[in-house]
Chains A and B, each alone.
Chain A
Amino acid sequence: MSTPSEPVMPPRITPPAEEPRVEGAALAVEKLNAWFGSNHVVKDISISFPKHHVTALIGPSGCGKSTFIRCLNRMHEVVPGARVSGSVLLEGDNIYAEGVDPVRIRRRIGMVFQKPNPFPTMSIYDNVAAGLRLNGTNRVSVLDAAVEEGLHLAALWDEVKDKLRAPGTSLSGGQQQRLCIARALAVKPEILLMDEPCSALDPIATGKIEELIYQLRERYTVGIVTHNMQQAARVSSFTGFLLMGELVEFGATGKIFTNPKDSRTEAYITGRFG
């Protein structure tokens, strides 16, 4: 231990001190409740995701933040015994209204999961093209362009452009996660939801993905769930703090981290519990 090496740190992105400018909500949640069987995990949450901003949801493990974000593109209901009430307005239309096809909602609201989950039998190219093919796009020129754009957006193009036919699982964990982001972006969603996208990754890969998330806000509305408070501070403009299934506090990220109103938020961000 004679030569202490520089610790590898993700890039620091300090949230702006002043209130971010908001041009309307991309997604407005009203009184959302969610259950697993009789277990009430999300309680009466109302929140709105401002357009072209990154909104982070933080909270200790088991606070319902993952369940909550999965309600936003109707992924919660794919688990047996799961139930939802309340409304989520996407451009003014309730995605839980009767007769709304969840498949169409999921095509407009993309999602990236905790663990990278590329399709193991598909090449890098086919992984990114998978969503488009599901939408019925089969023209090679269209697919080529969309795959390249998706990989560019996910900052993966330079690393994989010479091996697009290699299996998606031949990439490293961080690259696989960016491949999954490319796959989600290739179908041109309006909103991108991310459920702890870095929790299975090392600090360097985490740093790359955080930088990517920060840049994505220029084109997309991003919702991210994380248990890493520094990450929320680095990438988001708005932050909500969840505890025991309830939304304790929501506001501009700068404010939440420097001057929280609720004592529980303060206790959490100063590391006194969680």
Chain B
Amino acid sequence: MRSSRSRSGNWGDRLFGGASLGFALLILVLVAVLVGELAWNSRLALRAFGPAFLWSQNWDPVQELFGALPFIYGTLATSVVALLISIPLGLGTAIFLVELAPPRVSETISFLVELLAAIPSVIYGLVGLFVVVPWVRTAFCPSVSAALGWIPIFQASPYGVGIFTAGIILAVMIVPFITTVSREVLLMVPRSQREAALALGATHWEMVSTAILPYARSGIAGSIFLALARALGETMAVTMVIGNRPEIRASLFEPGYTMAAVLANEFSEATSDLHLHALIEIGLVLFVITIIVNGLARLLLLKLGRTTEGRS
């Protein structure tokens, strides 16, 4: 009886193990198929332009000349601007919610911040178009370039749409990721760590900076990378406010283009095979860049995590 039971248990284990393995492999297969499909469907462009596709600045469907650099630049630049704005905003909000706000206020604000993540991106695009674009055009850009115009990235531009505007919209969209995850991580810092700092005569802010933030740093870094991944791939809202001009200009206030935006805009209108294949190659590049960024994030987390190992 015992043996029969253990055999049936083994059978169940095997079924369970096999199914889990199957699902796990399925994910890997899906990723492989995705890469394969993208590569196959971009073969004409891959053959025609080779690696120069990555650093060519030409994007001319009429003459069938395609280069991805303006889109790569646009994607990275908007994401960097978004992170520069959203990290202080999101992390500051998380610290406020955990350390300073009374419980009722904290709950309400947390809820509202999470709500930000639920707003459809086309709504962000509309708000961007009707509110942020005019504001950047008439108020922000003129005043900033009046003061800092001697720095190339802050040169004046009359458009309002552009890399910087897209960065602002993206920043608002990714703040909930940073705030929500960082808040959870900060809440998990043990009381003993807070008390260790307080007992040494730390003020509230010194406790946050010497004990809490260092303890939570790997989780905070994780929240930032989650937000970055979202920013790299965001399509709709960016397309609506970035200006969609495939050129690299020094000024952040000039229009640009991102990889996701050009895919969305031109895919349905691409008539020639080479144009279509070039667009799909951009998709492949976006995919690879996302994987590289995530890989770097993993490495950084490992490095940060090592010092917190063995904590009691």
Contacts and interface: CB of A to CB of B under 8 A. Distances in A.
B73 to A, nearest CB: 36
A111 B200 CA distance: 8
Of B190, B193, B195, most buried by chain A (CB within 10 Å of CB) is B195
A180 B196 contact: yes
A173 B308 CA distance: 15
Contact of B210 (A107, A116, A119): A119
Interface residues of B, number: 25
A167 B197 CA distance: 17
Nearest to A132: B200
Interface string B249-288: 0000000000000000000000000000000000000000
Nearest to A193: B199
Interface stretch (B28-36, B44-52, B161-169, B211-219): B211-219
B289 interface: no
Interface in B170-198: 190, 192-198
B199 to A, nearest CB: 4
A216 B310 CA distance: 29
Contacts, number: 85
B203 interface: yes
Contacts of A187: 200-201
A5 B110 CA distance: 60
Nearest to B309: A169
Contacts of A183: 196, 200
B311 A120 contact: yes
Contacts of A115: 192, 312
A119 B312 contact: no
Given A75-B195, A117-B192, A107 B201 contact: yes
Interface string A133-165: 111000000000000000000000000000000
Nearest to A189: B201
B193 A117 contact: yes
A131 B310 contact: no
B307 interface: yes
B192 to A, nearest CB: 4
Interface string A113-129: 10111111110000000
A78 interface: yes
Contact of A117 (B195, B206, B310): B195
B81 interface: no
Given A78-B194, A78-B195, A121 B217 contact: yes
Given A110-B200, A113-B195, A113-B196, 15 more contacts: A75-B195, A106-B199, A107-B200, A116-B312, A117-B192, A120-B311, A121-B214, A121-B215, A131-B201, A133-B210, A167-B309, A167-B310, A173-B312, A184-B200, A187-B200
Interface of A: 73, 75, 78, 103-104, 106-107, 110-111, 113, 115-122, 130-131, 133-135, 167, 169-170, 173, 176, 180, 183-184, 187
Interface of B: 190, 192-203, 206, 210-211, 214-215, 217, 307-312
20 contacts: A75-B195, A78-B195, A106-B199, A106-B200, A110-B200, A113-B192, A117-B192, A117-B193, A119-B196, A119-B210, A119-B214, A120-B214, A120-B308, A122-B214, A130-B200, A130-B210, A133-B210, A167-B310, A170-B310, A184-B199
